[in-house]
Amino acid sequence: MPEIKHSVTTTTRYLRIAVDVPLYRCFDYVLPSNCDMPATGSRVQVRFGARQLTGIVIETDCQPSIAPNKIRAIDAILDDHAVFTPILYDLALRMADYYHQPLGVVCHTFLPSKLRQPKTIAQTVTPHYQLTHIGREAADQPQKSTKQTAVLQWLKSFGTTDSAISRVDCLEHIPGCGSTLNAMVKKGWLAETHVPQGGIQAQKTAPAKNLNDEQQAALDAIKSASMNKRHTTLLLDGITGSGKTEVYLQAIDQVLQQGRRVLVLVPEIGLTPQITQRFLSRLNARIGMLHSGRTDITRADTWLAARAGQIDVVIGTRSALFAPMENIGLLIVDEEHDAAYKQQDGIRYHARDMAILVAKLHHCPIVLGSATPSLESLANAKRGRYQQLRLTKRAGIAKPPTMQVVDMKDVSYKSALSPPLLKQMREHIDAGQQVLLFLNRRGYAPTLYCHQCSWAMECSNCSAHLVYHQKDGRMWCHHCGLQAERPKSCDNCHSEELIELGFGTQRIEQDITQHFSDTPILRIDRDSVRKKGELERLLAEIQQGKPAILVGTQMLAKGHHFPNVSLVGVLSIDHGFYSSDFRALERMGQLIVQVAGRAGRGEVPGKMLLQTHQPHNTDLQTLLKTGYATFADKLLAERESALLPPYSFHALIQLEAKTAEMAETVMIKFLHAWQRVNANLDAAFLGPIPAPMPRRAGMQRYEALIQTGNRGVLRQALAQWLEEVQQINLPSQLFWALDVDPTGHY
Ligand code: ADP
Ligand code: ZN
Ligand code: ZN
């Protein structure tokens, strides 16, 4: 595109633009004289170096910060209105500050991918239909065409509500009715309107439940805050199946009745089909969904619909946080402890923490819900920053599950299923129930191991073993995606005695088949649900409630409501005891409670069997005997005495380079920069050390940990250090990132 020529005059107007480049500043551009000034928060197309980029207008009519004749003009204004709401823009500023990231990068992180491209974009509109007066009359008469009759009757079944039904819904309900719809519009039986796509008009068809006292108290607390437009963080600490979702739904209903909007975050797409269905049947609202399972176009449509005020409730994963809604009256973060809320690349933001900020900016309450709250949230509740609301009983008739430990010392290492577990599986299956087996490892066998010399097959790019997948008979790296032939012999001693060591979900599936030849086995892990729609199909099959054995990873552990699962077997969680990550125990406890919570959600009481080599571990005993709250208290006390988060603050510097020398040299420069500017601050630079996974995808990985007892000091130290780091010349082929409040393995 040719550069727009302009001459500088006294009437030349300038704007400041944030572009998606890793530089801590915004850039000045000239407004072409034939253009009206775009609103702050609009997208424009600009030339940056040799590239055409999308920019966000940050400031209009600003004073140029460099010589005016050096400033280029913008190439195009992409939107008629700002895509950012003022609050969203405010959020971007605060996030840039908190995570020490360039504003342009933050702004672009907010946008759905379609809107990041320098193109104008219009909402997709889809036809919607509604019976006219004569259409209603026709519906009462017998019609010759069966398709017409079907359409008339179906539309009539919605009554005289003023919402129209989308063409997509019609086609789904009455396949092949497209030309019938067109003909009926011509006849005047149907009114056709064009409604922007993005949201679904939900109709309340299921009634609200009568809340128990604890639920009612929780609802009242939320209601009082939202009525008074008061920001407060409520920690809804309710055991699995205690009716947290029921409380959310009734609270949302209240807020919608005040004419305000609601944002609901859920940790993973695996949870969304069920929760979405429940929301759709309980709210009279326009609901928009934002998660990675939707196409880029639908996501952009939903985003624009939210911006245009056409959506009342947004439900989505992490990035749904950035839905540009105005007038939010309530935010909900379901399963707030879930690690999926932390973004692990790009800007490493924590969606729960940022959701609290959004609630603050909207002066509204936020509910963090969990059966196993994070230690961070529990510590905040203890300090009185969050209001803790407890639900201690299961809602309805369901009872909490009982738990039993199986000592694996007594079981041959060759089998992953202990005799007590097999026996109970048989009993529950024979009684017509479903059994869920949880295992945190997909594939067949995590290691291929030489019987003679202990050689194990490793990935050539990563410090990790290759995992054997029986289905394709190949070895896979779960970190970089590398695939290799299964070796016939040991690389080291050429022995042909290679043993498949350990168990993955595929191997468990195969083992169970031998014991339960005529019971359906449903395996749910990332490999088995790769095909689109497969997860929904498997979940629907489970919902039918016929006897079956479900084998799965995390995907199966969280949030699901399977009324017929009465027995849960946890096959191995022992890595939680040995991990170098100080959060591993917390995660293990949460996982055990969450998995157990899948049992006994219907009429039959639930039971969990936990297989472990550490049956006497005191943390495990605390968890099983006295419950998650005491377990969490114990861990919190340990964190406090060790000065670990949430009693101190961390940031992690992560660095990858082609060679270890290059990585170390740069890390040492980082350390020296730290010492130059932060020597008198009470913040430690620990490292550099090799990352827990020192090599991945061919890159050498190092890290350094920043630790301090004070949030303000962390902020100041990082800001000063980053200024200094800007002066360092970095080699190409080197990547580094800063993770403020890191939560996991790098
Ligand atoms: P959670 O979100 O805490 O796991 P849910 O809201 O999913 O719990 O509730 C678990 C089950 O109990 C659901 O089937 C729900 O419909 C039912 N339920 C919730 N609240 C009540 C209530 N007050 N009375 C009867 N059943 C309820
Ligand atoms: Zn060998
Ligand atoms: Zn690899």
Could you give all domains of the chain from N- to C-terminal order, each with its CATH number?
13-116 (3.40.1440.60), 125-197 (no CATH), 213-391 (3.40.50.300), 402-445+502-639 (3.40.50.300), 649-740 (3.30.70.600)
pLDDT at 440 over 90: no
Distance 687 CA to ligand 3 centre (A): 25
pLDDT at 197 over 90: no
Instruction: Read off the pLDDT of residues 119-152 as tens digits, 9 standing for 90 and up.
Output: 888 777 778 888 888 998 888 888 888 889 999 9
Please report which ligand is nearest the Cα atom of 601.
Answer: 1
pLDDT score at 3? 47
Distance 482 CA to ligand 3 centre (A): 5
Q: Whose CA is nearest to atom 26 of ligand 1?
A: 396
Q: Whose CA is nearest to atom 20 of ligand 1?
A: 243
290-294's contacts with Cβ under 8 Å and 24+ in sequence apart are 290/112, 290/314, 290/315, 290/316, 290/317, 290/319, 290/320, 290/323, 291/316, 291/317, 291/320, 292/317, 293/269
Distance 664 CA to ligand 3 centre (A): 22
Please report which ligand is nearest the Cα atom of 493.
Answer: 2
Distance 563 CA to ligand 1 centre (A): 11
Nearest atom of ligand 1 to the alpha carbon of 246: 6
Name residue, tokens 């169970």: 512
Work out the average pLDDT over 31-54. Answer: 93
Q: Whose CA is nearest to atom 24 of ligand 1?
A: 396
Please report which ligand is nearest the Cα atom of 482.
Answer: 3
Distance 456 CA to ligand 2 centre (A): 8
Distance 460 CA to ligand 3 centre (A): 6
pLDDT score at 271? 56
Distance 275 CA to ligand 1 centre (A): 12
3-state class (DSSP) for residue 245: helix
Considering the chain, what is the average pLDDT of its residues? 90
Distance 306 CA to ligand 1 centre (A): 29
Nearest atom of ligand 1 to the alpha carbon of 391: 3
Distance 467 CA to ligand 2 centre (A): 18
**pLDDT level of residue 2 (50, 70, 90 thresholds):** very low
pLDDT score at 273? 65
466-475's contacts with Cβ under 8 Å and 24+ in sequence apart are 467/441, 467/442, 467/443, 467/504, 468/443, 468/444, 468/500, 468/504, 469/443, 469/444, 469/506, 469/527, 470/444, 470/506, 470/507, 470/510, 471/444, 471/506, 471/527, 475/448
Contact assessment for residue 66 and residue 43, using Cβ atoms and an 8 Å cutoff: no
Nearest atom of ligand 1 to the alpha carbon of 210: 23
Tokens of 372: 């196993």
Residue 508: closest CA among 438, 564, 573, 574: 438
Please report which ligand is nearest the Cα atom of 394.
Answer: 1
Work out the average pLDDT over 561-576. Answer: 87
pLDDT score at 5? 52
Residue 389 phi/psi, 5° resolution? -115, 125
Please report which ligand is nearest the Cα atom of 479.
Answer: 3
Region of residue 656 (left: phi > 0; alpha: psi -120 to 50; beta: else): beta
Q: Ligand 1: list residues with CB < 6 Å.
A: 209-212, 215, 238, 240-246, 395-396, 561
pLDDT score at 27? 94
Q: Under 8 Å CB-to-CB from 464, ≥6 apart: which residues? A: 458, 477, 478, 479, 693, 696
Q: Whose CA is nearest to atom 19 of ligand 1?
A: 243
Cα separation, 732 vs 42, in Å, equals 33
Please report which ligand is nearest the Cα atom of 239.
Answer: 1
Distance 695 CA to ligand 3 centre (A): 9
**pLDDT level of residue 272 (50, 70, 90 thresholds):** low
**pLDDT level of residue 1 (50, 70, 90 thresholds):** very low
Percent of the chain that is helix, strand, coil (3-state, to 5): 35, 25, 40
pLDDT score at 556? 83
Total Cβ atoms within 10 A of residue 239: 22
Distance 587 CA to ligand 2 centre (A): 36
Neighbours of ion ligand 3 (CB under 5 A): 459, 461-462, 477, 479-480, 482
pLDDT at 738 over 70: yes
Q: Which of 245, 250, 335 to mutate to test ligand 1, by most ligand atoms within 8 A of the CB atom?
A: 245
pLDDT score at 224? 93
Q: Which residue has the higher pLDDT, 490 or 298?
A: 490
Distance 463 CA to ligand 3 centre (A): 7
Q: Which residue has the higher pLDDT, 34 or 173?
A: 34
Contact assessment for residue 401 and residue 568, using Cβ atoms and an 8 Å cutoff: yes
Task: Provide the percentage of residues in the chain whose pLDDT is more than 90.
Answer: 60
Q: Whose CA is nearest to atom 21 of ligand 1?
A: 395
pLDDT at 161 over 60: no
Is the link from the previous residue into 646 a cis peptide, with omega within 30 of 0? yes
Q: Whose CA is nearest to atom 12 of ligand 1?
A: 395
Distance 219 CA to ligand 1 centre (A): 14
Burial (0-12, 13-18, 19+ Cβ within 10 Å), 80: exposed
Distances in whole angstroms, Cα of residue 85 to Cα of each of 91, 350, 361, 558, 626: 10, 21, 12, 33, 47
Q: Which residue has the higher pLDDT, 604 or 714?
A: 714
Cα separation, 310 vs 321, in Å, equals 17
Residue 291 is given by DSSP the state: S
Q: Whose CA is nearest to atom 9 of ligand 1?
A: 243
Lowest-pLDDT range of 212-216, 358-362, 502-506, 575-579: 575-579
Please report which ligand is nearest the Cα atom of 480.
Answer: 3
Task: Provide the percentage of residues in the chain whose pLDDT is more than 70.
Answer: 97
Nearest atom of ligand 1 to the alpha carbon of 248: 6
Instruction: Read off the pLDDT of residues 49-91 as tens digits, 9 standing for 90 and up.
Output: 999 999 999 999 888 888 888 899 999 999 888 999 999 999 9
Q: Which of 240, 242, 246, 337 to mutate to test ligand 1, by most ligand atoms within 8 A of the CB atom?
A: 246
Distances in whole angstroms, Cα of residue 3 to Cα of each of 33, 50, 65, 197: 14, 11, 21, 36
Q: Under 8 Å CB-to-CB from 691, ≥6 apart: which residues? A: 654, 701, 702, 703, 746
pLDDT score at 193? 81
pTM for this prediction: 0.88
Cα separation, 288 vs 161, in Å, equals 20
Q: Whose CA is nearest to atom 5 of ligand 1?
A: 243
Work out the average pLDDT over 169-186. Answer: 88
Contact assessment for residue 656 and residue 707, using Cβ atoms and an 8 Å cutoff: no
Please report which ligand is nearest the Cα atom of 496.
Answer: 2
Distance 245 CA to ligand 1 centre (A): 7
Distance 497 CA to ligand 2 centre (A): 8
Nearest atom of ligand 1 to the alpha carbon of 212: 23
